[in-house]
Copies of this chain bind each other. A is one copy, B any other.
Amino acid sequence: MVDDQLSRVFAALADPTRRDIVARLAVGDATVGQLAEPYDVSVQAVSKHIKVLADAGLVSQGRDAQRRPCHLEAEVFDLMTKWIERYRQQAQERYERLDAVLAEMRGDEQPANPRHQQGAAS
């Protein structure tokens, strides 16, 4: 495991079973047994999946007698969303600047419109 949180979150969601578990926890909290029920793998395997999600900070577990209800921690999603948005937007701005350059090369210039050059914001 690559040890930083963002890596753990991405890695956790790289497995369809785990994404499925997240999807179901978005609807409501559930115990390990309830989560394991739909799959034909062992409860232990699902327990491991939940551990991976918990280590990534995506899920927390409470206690109710011998049960350990799982709860989705949706805030961690922001970590990913921010990372993604940052580079998506950065790439998009680059395309816009490229478009502007190409337009200018065509003699199709708009010299009085500086709004396209929003600095590459790091």
Tell me the A residues contacting B by CB distance below 8 Å: 2, 4, 6-8, 10-11, 13-16, 19, 22-23, 25-28, 60-62, 71-74, 77-78, 80-81, 83-85, 87-88, 90-92, 94-95, 120-122
Q: Chain copies in the assembly? A: 2
Please list 19 pairs of residues, one from A and one from B, whose beta carbons are closer than 8 Å in the complex, sorted by A's number: A2-B14, A2-B15, A7-B15, A10-B10, A10-B11, A10-B13, A14-B14, A26-B94, A27-B94, A27-B120, A28-B94, A60-B121, A71-B122, A72-B91, A74-B91, A74-B95, A80-B80, A81-B84, A81-B85
* In the complex, residue of chain B having the shortest beta-carbon distance to the beta carbon of A87: B26
A96 to chain B, nearest CB (A): 12
